[in-house]
């Protein structure tokens, strides 16, 4: 076939050119469209960053107003979605629910599956996704609690509206603390894109067959759910709780992580591309201290996380392999402090990553990239003679 190399896991294979996210893993640098992640996290709103990723430039006030109002007026989802919820068991993991609901949007908006869709229609799909995702995410949580859903309130901003849909009750008016809003806004920005990661590659791969953006995003959610990718944020907090319940012996778990006969890995540590501090982890760690202080929460897992980090960073195994805390290491502690149940952590990652998936899908379609179709090296049997069922021993 002329195929001479394999690169299992695409450790050293470029799949595309891209003008969206710059990542230098050796130096720990991350930029969206040329802007440092630190500046965006400090000064921008999540919707400004979404606009930047999707359309290439930071919006001016008029563009941001227009973008925001286009999104705000589409935050309702079709009531038929409630019937889909009703079919899920009460304890369904919200990531599975989100993947199904994202894919169901292609049925509510069937024009999106037309491969000859116009740029205006593509843009409407983009706006609808951004508008409806917080509603679907909050409703998947309400459904898992057996509580009535909250409808969007369009006088609130993106983050405030999401939080009220999550936490308000008919008996309780939820008021968001400005520091909580700031932390959540930051977290969403930090997760918004990360070049050709597993879920983004899934979105591009599905989209390369000209499937709709809804179906492509649904594939991204499924990929993100895995414990080695976005699912790590749930795994981290479960690991920290376990270490805490087990007496807080951090060294024991560091030794387990190093033991090649043990399947345990230090969740929230290591990254395919960062061989230095993940710049997102630095920002989240600071934010974590601030939110816990503000809310007066003493979470023993924060101390355990800090001890784990310190011990690992002074251990030859982690130093030699350049394993540092990644974006997921501290995010779960903040989510828990804000009141999110553990199985919603990866959904929060999904909300943040949505603009990145959209931007990458749009870039790929506009470049008219061909269908993705990797080759293989066949290692199965050579040609065999067929043996009839009655003659097989
Ligand atoms: N604990 C212990 N050892 C580790 C860890 C870890 N968390 N991560 C990597 N290693 C070791 C691994 O065993 C291997 O050792 P050796 O060279 O002796 O065989 C070496 O480091 C290289 O690891 P790898 O698995 O070949 O690297 P990869 O690039 O294929 O995997 C990773 C990257 C993120 C999947 C991996 O570091 C990992 O499993 N980390 C824990 C899960 C996690 O936190 N995932 C979230 C990633 S960041 C959010 C996102 O973008 O999804």
Nearest CA to ligand 1 atom 20: 321
What separation in Å is there between the alpha carbon of 228 and the centre of ligand 1?
Answer: 8
How far apart, in Å, are the Cα atoms of 61 and each of 15, 66, 135, 145, 209? 35, 9, 25, 39, 36
DSSP 37: H
Q: Is the Cα dihedral 71, 47, 220, 357 positive or negative?
A: positive
Q: Two tokens at 326?
A: 């990644």
In 3D space, the residue among 220, 221, 225, 222 whose CA is nearest the CA of residue 203 turns out to be 220
Name the pLDDT band for 1 (thresholds 50, 70, 90): low
- State yes or no: pLDDT of 210 exceeds 60: yes
**In whole angstroms, how large is the CA radius of gyration of the chain?**
22
Residue 217 has pLDDT above 90, yes or no: yes
Q: For residues 296-320, give the mean pLDDT.
A: 93
End-to-end CA distance of the chain: 36
Instruction: Calculate the CA dihedral of residues 192, 196, 199, 203 and round it to 10 degrees.
Output: 100
The predicted structure's pLDDT at residue 236: 94
Q: In 3-state terms, what secondary structure has residue 302? A: helix
Element (H, E) at 282: helix 279-295
Flag whether pLDDT at 361 surpasses 80: yes
- Strand (E) or helix (H) holding 24: strand 21-24
Among 234, 270, 324, say which to mutate for ligand 1: greatest number of ligand atoms within 8 Å of CB. Answer: 270
* Burial group, residue 99, by CB count within 10 angstroms (0-12, 13-18, 19+): buried
Work out the pLDDT band at 113, boundaries 50, 70, 90: very high
Of all protein residues, whose CA lies closest to atom 26 belonging to ligand 1?
272
pLDDT of residue 67: 98
Q: What pLDDT is recorded for position 146?
A: 84
Tokens of residue 47, six digits: 């919707």
Q: Which residue has the tokens 């807080």?
A: 248
Instruction: State which ligand 1 atom lies nearest to the alpha carbon of 198.
Output: 52
pLDDT at position 144: 83
For 155, which DSSP code?
A: T
Tokens, residue 5: 């190399």
Predicted pLDDT of residue 115: 86
Closest C-alpha among 250, 371, 374 to residue 314: 250
Q: Express as a percent the part of the chain with pLDDT over 70.
A: 99
Global ipTM: 0.96
Task: Using the mean position of ligand 1's atoms as its centre, give its distance from the Cα of residue 385 in Å.
Answer: 44
Pairing type for strands 29-32 and 35-36 reads antiparallel
194 catalytically annotated: no
* 37 band by pLDDT with thresholds 50, 70 and 90: very high
Residue range 270-291, pLDDT digits in tens: 999 999 889 999 999 999 889 9
- Average per-residue pLDDT in the chain? 94
For ligand 1, say whether the CB of 197 is within 6 Å of any of its atoms.
yes
Q: Write down the pLDDT at residue 277.
A: 87
* CA 203 from centroid of its chain's CA atoms: 12
pLDDT for the residue 2: 66
Atom of ligand 1 nearest to the CA of 229: 52
Structure confidence by residue, pLDDT tens digits, 176-186: 999 999 999 99
User: What pLDDT, on the 0 to 100 scale, is given for residue 388?
Assistant: 97
Which range (64-73, 85-94, 123-132, 245-254) has the least confidence?
Answer: 85-94
The pLDDT of residue 166 is above 70: yes
């Amino acid at each position: 076939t002329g195929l001479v190399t394999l690169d299992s896991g695409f450790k050293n294979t470029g799949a595309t050119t891209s003008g969206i996210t710059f990542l230098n893993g050796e130096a720990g640098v991350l930029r969206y469209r040329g802007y440092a992640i630190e500046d965006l996290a400090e000064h921008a709103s999540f919707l400004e960053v979404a606009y930047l990723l999707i359309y290439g430039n930071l919006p001016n006030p008029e563009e941001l107003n227009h973008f925001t109002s286009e999104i705000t007026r589409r935050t309702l989802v079709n009531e038929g979605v409630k019937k889909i919820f009703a079919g899920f068991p009460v304890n369904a993991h919200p990531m599975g629910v989100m993947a199904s609901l994202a894919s169901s949007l292609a049925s509510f908006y069937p024009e999106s599956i037309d491969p000859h869709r116009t740029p205006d229609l593509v843009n409407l799909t983009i706006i609808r996704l951004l508008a409806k995702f917080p509603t679907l995410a909050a409703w998947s949580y309400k459904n898992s609690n057996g509580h009535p859903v909250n409808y969007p309130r369009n006088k609130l901003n993106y983050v405030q509206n999401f939080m009220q849909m999550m936490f308000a009750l008919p008996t309780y008016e939820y008021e968001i603390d400005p520091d909580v809003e700031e932390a959540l806004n930051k977290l969403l920005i930090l997760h918004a894109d990360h070049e050709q990661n597993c879920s983004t590659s899934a979105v591009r791969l599905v989209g390369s067959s000209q499937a709709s953006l809804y179906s492509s995003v649904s594939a991204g959610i499924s990929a993100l759910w895995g414990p080695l990718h976005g699912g790590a944020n749930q795994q981290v907090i479960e690991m920290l709780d376990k270490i805490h319940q087990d007496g807080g012996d951090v060294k024991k778990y560091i030794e387990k992580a190093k033991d090649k006969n043990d399947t345990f890995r230090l969740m929230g540590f290591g990254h395919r591309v960062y061989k230095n501090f993940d710049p997102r982890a630095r920002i989240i760690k600071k934010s974590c201290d601030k939110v816990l202080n503000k809310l007066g929460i003493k979470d023993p897992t924060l101390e355990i996380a800090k001890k784990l980090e310190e011990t690992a960073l002074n251990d030859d195994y982690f130093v030699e392999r350049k394993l540092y805390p990644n974006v997921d290491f501290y995010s779960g502690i903040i989510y828990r402090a804000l009141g999110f149940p553990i199985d919603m952590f990866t959904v929060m990652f999904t909300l943040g990553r949505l603009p990145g998936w959209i931007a990458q899908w749009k870039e790929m379609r506009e470049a008219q990239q061909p269908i993705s179709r990797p080759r293989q090296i066949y290692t199965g049997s050579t040609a065999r003679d067929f043996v009839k069922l009655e003659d097989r021993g």
